Structure 1
Amino acid sequence: MRIADFSVPDTAAARAALELAREYQTPAITAHALRSWLFAEAFARDGGFDAIDHELLYVSAVLHDIGTVTAFDNHTLSYEDAGGHVAIALTAGAGWPRERRRRALEVIVRHNWTSVDPMMDAEGHLLEIATGLDISGARVDVLPEDFVREVLAAHPRGTLAAEFAACVSDQAARKPGTAARRLVDGGVREKLAAHPFERL
């Protein structure tokens, strides 16, 4: 398994999502988004998910944390909901039909669920387990180590641990009824600091 096995969708929505992420997010958060996409695609291959919407998965992965940035932070919505609405706006501009735009919102929101049934939402499941791997170290032994090392070399973690911990802590303090509070209470700061990827 290599990065070259997974092609970035050559579409207006995919290009715009990456451009938006790079313009508004820090390099560490954008690198996390790209690792999450690659890990999601790798989990899809490992798990035999043959019928997924690759463009939907890419756009959702790239934008899944964009609701944390100041320009898109919503004072009442969780950051994943806010980011999902950014994805709706972006994909509307790319000509996606309404139902598919709503799927981007669903996938982004569900990435912060404790688990997603793959029979209900394959793309949501893949993004949830991919971000769980990159943030908390869940399923750390599933993907080939050579592939993980290649992904980390291409998209280094940098200051992710400090940035994401601070960001989610801020969200949890201001929006205690959201998933950010659960992440903080579940020890996300400690999990990030102790993540085995920090030592690779």
Structure 2
Amino acid sequence: MIPETTACRSAREVARAYCSPALLNHSVRAYLWAAGYASAHGIAFDAELLYVAAMFHDIGLVREFDSHTVPFEDAGGHVAWVFAAGAGWPLERRGRASEVIVRHMWDEVDVARDPESHLLAFGTSLDISGRRPDALPASLRAEVLDHYPRLGLGKEFLACFRDQAERKPDSSAAECVRTGIADRIAANPLDTHGA
């Protein structure tokens, strides 16, 4: 289910080098939830583009790429653009990689206009907040969680968002903190897998 292209393997290598094990597994799960949802609902998408975006969607939360001037999703979009340039992607595709990452924090993305952003938003909201777990078969959820365990993601992610909110009060992370992400993370049904 994970695309095996040179760009995908390289993106995973970069994410592994900079992300904690919990954040890396979250990135892989975000892709797998998105791809599973697309398969179940007949949504055509660019697997390589979505996978690369998934690998970098939270890289703006890690120390090396955290920007004091822009929200974490914008910083991650910049990293993806630079990565895509190095991978030889054309200018438009580099922009799409960045755009998908930025849009994953939007409240809604129209699937007909931008399936990759729509799918990444679905996958990340399921993995972080436990939103719409029944949109995927229980067997798929169990298989993915067995292969890519959560490793205390909720606590780590909440600490990252609280840090972002404190330093960037106008950011999307700050808005998430203000609107109760801590409660949503605490109630995430994915954290009960294997408990």
Q: Same fold (TM over 0.5)?
A: yes
Hey, what does 1:3 align to over in structure 2?
A: none
- Where 1:28 maps in the other structure, the secondary structure is helix
Hey, what does 2:16 align to over in structure 1?
A: 22
Question: Quick one: distance in 1 between partners of 2:28 and 2:120?
Answer: 11
Hey, what does 1:10 align to over in structure 2?
A: 4
In structure 1, runs of 5+ residues without a counterpart are 1-5
Deviation at 1:186, TM superposition (A): 1.8
Hey, what does 2:68 align to over in structure 1?
A: 75
Question: Quick one: distance in 1 between partners of 2:102 and 2:41?
Answer: 22
Hey, what does 1:154 align to over in structure 2?
A: 147
Alignment RMSD, CA only? 0.9
Hey, what does 1:187 align to over in structure 2?
A: 180
Hey, what does 2:164 align to over in structure 1?
A: 171
Hey, what does 2:25 align to over in structure 1?
A: 31
Deviation at 1:11, TM superposition (A): 2.1
Select the residue among 82, 98, 108 that pairs with 1:105. 98
Aligned pair count reads: 193
Question: Quick one: distance in 2 between partners of 1:184 and 1:65?
Answer: 16
Deviation at 1:140, TM superposition (A): 1.3
Runs of 4+ displaced beyond 4 Å: none
In structure 2, runs of 5+ residues without a counterpart are none
Deviation at 1:10, TM superposition (A): 2.4
Hey, what does 1:55 align to over in structure 2?
A: 48
* Matching residue's letter, 1:123: E
Deviation at 1:12, TM superposition (A): 2.3
* Matching residue's letter, 1:26: S
CA deviation digits over 1:55-110, x for unaligned, max 9? 00000011110011111011111000000110011110110000000000110001
Deviation at 1:138, TM superposition (A): 1.1
Deviation at 1:46, TM superposition (A): 1.4
Select the residue among 108, 112, 118 that pairs with 1:115. 108
- Where 1:141 maps in the other structure, the secondary structure is helix
Question: Quick one: distance in 1 between partners of 2:135 and 2:4?
Answer: 28
Question: Quick one: distance in 1 between partners of 2:88 and 2:172?
Answer: 31
* Matching residue's letter, 2:92: E
Q: In the alignment, is the contact (CA less than 8 A) between 1:16 and 1:90 conserved in 2?
A: no
* Matching residue's letter, 1:99: E
* Matching residue's letter, 2:6: A
* Aligned-residue identity in percent: 51
Deviation at 1:47, TM superposition (A): 1.6
Deviation at 1:35, TM superposition (A): 0.4
Question: Quick one: distance in 2 between partners of 1:162 and 1:138?
Answer: 17
Deviation at 1:30, TM superposition (A): 0.5
Q: In the alignment, is the contact (CA less than 8 A) between 1:84 and 1:106 conserved in 2?
A: yes
CA deviation digits over 1:21-78, x for unaligned, max 9? 111110000000000000000111112112x111000000111100111110111110
